[in-house]
Amino acid sequence: MYRGTIEQAVQAFAAEKAFFESRGVSLPDTVRCYATDAIAANYLAMDAQPALQTDPNTGIPSWLTTFIDPDVYNILFAPTEGAEVIGEERKGNWTTTTAMFPTVEHTVEVSSYGDFNENGRASLNTNWPQRQAYNFQVMVEYGDLEIERAGLGRVNWIAGLDAAAADGLNRFSNLSYFYGVANLQNFGLLNDPNLGAPLAPATKAAGGTSWFTAGGAPNATANEVYNDIVALYEVLVQNNLGLVNKKTPMVLAMSPGSEVALTFTNSFNVNVEDLLKKNFPNLRIQTAVQYGVQSATNPQGVPAGNFMQLIAEKIQGQKTAFCSFTEKLKAFPIIRAASSYKQKRMAGTFGAIIRMPIAFVAMVGI
């Protein structure tokens, strides 16, 4: 601390500034004098915080300490498994409005034989059931600035839009495979008007008819679950007058929740699935959420309760049903605007084509 006036402190510092610089101590022009008692009293007091001239803050901007994970996760949706139940085939194309699925029935009248008799006749009866196609579309649109901004967040925006469009079209097709399209001759696995009424499950020893309680606990034994499935098979055999037997290729379709009951085990340590494999060697099990009861989390479910279908896939070498589409995904040209792009995508569906309704037996309320 310099003992003297401020003027003396300025003169003393100016005289010795060159001394400091010669020894590597560079002092800016803002330092012009030594500190005196007066300067210390007025400017260097440390017992109070002077008022700020700028806004108070806590440090650096928060985005400088924010990390963006490069692994982008997609939100998951229920699998689309309508085509897995009965298969899928293309019929026609996007110009097709109606498809005919002809059936031929043999008619024969026999007569007593005589060398000169010409009675008796074989003929055919034909029918031409029809289904109407439904075309649907989605637009993919994106702008130049939108793409650039998404890139800053490490999101591949265009690829994501392409995937969303394809997935959306596929999900609508899947929905049509179960419910068809309203106001058209276009039906699905669950609402084709030619299907028979579903059976009711047997009453269980624990009460009620369902396989599970409202809380999700088992409400049926392994034998009771197996017997409900056998009841479907019995009706299927009766409806087809010997055309269906245990070796017939069949699919047992149900919800993922109902499939859990196939793990129920009886007193001999044999579960339901083991019994099915032993007695029906060509039976396969297929799940789809649409067979579950309708709820807030499963709006595409069945309002009447958990549903189950037993389907003979082929009878005398003929496919009994298949899902059908005209176009799976048709992309139109990309249109370039001033600073954006757009493209139309479309697909078409006939719903589920059930050629032999007698090959289907259902049960509701399991």
Residues 302-315 pLDDT 10s: 999 999 999 999 99
pLDDT at 40 over 80: no
- Same domain, residue pair 21 and 92: no
| Confidence grade of residue 4 (pLDDT, cut at 50, 70, 90) | confident
The pLDDT score that the predictor gives to residue 311 is 98
Domain assignment of residue 308, yes or no: yes
The residue range of the domain holding 360 is 88-98+132-364
Q: CB neighbours of 93 closer than 8 A, spacing ≥ 6?
A: 326, 327
Q: What is the pLDDT of residue 24?
A: 73
Q: Tell whether 136 and 28 lie within a shared domain.
A: no
> Are residues 303 and 158 both part of a single domain?
yes
Whether residue 313 is contained in a domain is answered as: yes
Give 14's pLDDT tier (boundaries 50, 70, 90).
confident
Quote the DSSP letter at residue 23. T
**Residues 200 and 292 reside in one and the same domain:** yes
Claim to verify: residue 92 and residue 49 sit in the same structural domain: no
Report if residue 292 sits inside a domain.
yes
Considering the domain architecture, whether residues 153 and 59 belong to the same structural domain is answered as: no
> Minimum mean pLDDT among 25-39, 164-178, 235-249, 337-351: which range?
25-39
136 and 55 in a common domain: no
Strands across the sheet containing 307-312: 283-287, 250-254, 307-312, 360-364
Number of domains in the chain: 2
Whole-number pLDDT of residue 28: 66
Q: Are residues 202 and 351 in the same domain?
A: yes
Residue 101 near residue 355 (C-beta atoms within 8 A): yes
Place of tokens 């003979």: 312
Question: Is 358 part of a structural domain of the chain?
Answer: yes
217: tokens are 């606990």
Mean of the per-residue pLDDT values for the chain? Answer: 90
- The pLDDT of residue 217 is 94
Question: 256 and 144 in one domain?
Answer: yes
Q: Which two tokens stand for residue 129?
A: 């059931």
The verdict on residue 75 lying in a domain is no
CATH of the domain at 149: 3.30.2320.10
Any domain includes 117: no
For residues 302 and 180, state if they share a domain.
yes
In a domain, 1, yes or no: no
Question: pLDDT tens for residues 207-221?
Answer: 999 999 999 999 999
Sequence letter at residue 168: G
Same domain, 47 and 92: no
Say yes or no to pLDDT of 235 above 90. Answer: yes
Residue 118 lies inside a defined structural domain of this protein: no
- Alpha-carbon gap, residue 354 to 180, rounded angstroms: 12
Phi-psi domain of 167 (left: phi exceeds 0; alpha: psi -120 through 50; beta: other)? alpha
Q: For residues 67-77, b (16+ Cβ closer than 10 Å) or e, as one string? A: eeeeeeeeeee
| pLDDT of amino acid 22 | 77
| Confidence grade of residue 67 (pLDDT, cut at 50, 70, 90) | confident
Indicate whether 93 and 33 sit together in one domain: no
pLDDT of residue 41: 61
